[in-house]
Amino acid sequence: MSILVDRHTRMICQGITGQHGAFHTRQCMDYGTLVVGGCVPGKGGTTFEHAGKSVPIFESCYEAVEKVGANASMIFVPAKFAADAAMEAADAGIALVVLITEGIPTLDMVRVRKYLDDKGVRLVGPNCPGVISPGQCKIGIMPGYIHKPPTPGSRNVGIISRSGTLTYEAVWQCSERSIAQTTCVGIGGDPVKGLNFIELLDLFESDPETHAVVMIGEIGGTDEEKAAEHIKARIRKPVVAFIAGQTAPPGRRMGHAGAIISGGEGTAQSKIAALKSAGIRVSDSPATIGDRVVEALR
């Protein structure tokens, strides 16, 4: 099985005619994602062409839901318009919003998170690589070829990560060791975001085809410590973790807006200690994540 997306997911792209939106929509279509349309104000009634396929472009998300039954949106809209795009998708009844855009103001995201939560809409991102259920559906910028779909009798992991590139590294190491992935979710590194570790851990815990979970965190905030408490209390499947930014100096932001140590909290050391105290296998290096997963699955 998978979480969040599968072969029946009907995706649109908000911003499909932009350079990045167009490129990654083509990649999603090539992977096999059921792309049913795009949404670009002012370009409704036109089409998006790729590999002999013609995808309609709508003036609004409302049209996309009404005419083609869209239930997921991939957003490649500039940062100053991204909040409105996400809320429009939620208003239209789209159940999953994958917000790829980076640089969205934090106050905008506070507004978006509250708005989508009130409507029961799941949000992945922002500033994230998206979500993929290997062999079924890819929404976002993840390189599809490195993923290994589950097969009958295979041992499978779910992957949750604040870091895009470390998501790919963990996937590659698992695939090289013949470990398949049910779903991989890049949750993004911003301080205010959608689905978090705890929510996704619960979804993987309920998925019978996911046998272990890889959780990749980084410095900043307390999400990993909270996840460690939740794992100790509620999660019965083995969890492998890695924390990025172990050599980062306090007070300096490291890449992601949320990756900053301040007020004496959010350090790699505090996160690693919390994870280990919860009985979680913590990899000392990104190069050994795959080895830890092999141990966990034994």
pLDDT tens-digit map of 4-15: 999 999 999 999
**Domain chopping of the chain, boundaries:** 10-124, 143-297
Burial of 272 (0-12, 13-18, 19+ CB in 10 A): buried
Paired strand residues for 159: 184, 214
Residue with tokens 């306090």: 250
- pLDDT over 70 for what percent of the chain? 94
Distance CA 27, CA 179 (A): 24
Cβ-Cβ contacts under 8 Å for 289 (sequence gap 6 or more): 169, 170, 173, 174, 214, 216, 240, 242, 283
Secondary structure element (H or E) that encloses residue 228, with its range: helix 223-234
CATH architecture of 143-297: 3-Layer(aba) Sandwich (3.40)
pLDDT band at 266 (very low <50, low <70, confident <90, very high): confident
Active-site hit among 24, 147, 230, 256: 256
Give pTM, 2 decimals: 0.95
pLDDT tens-digit map of 220-242: 889 999 999 999 999 999 999 99
More confidently predicted of 231 and 266 = 231
Distance CA 196, CA 215 (A): 11
pLDDT at 261: 58
Matching CATH topology for 10-124 and 143-297? Answer: yes
Distance CA 271, CA 280 (A): 11
pLDDT of 258 above 60: no
pLDDT at 247: 74
pLDDT tens-digit map of 17-70: 999 999 999 999 999 999 999 999 999 999 999 999 999 999 999 999 999 999
Q: Is 256 a catalytic residue?
A: yes
Say which CATH class 10-124 falls into.
alpha beta
Distance CA 261, CA 267 (A): 6
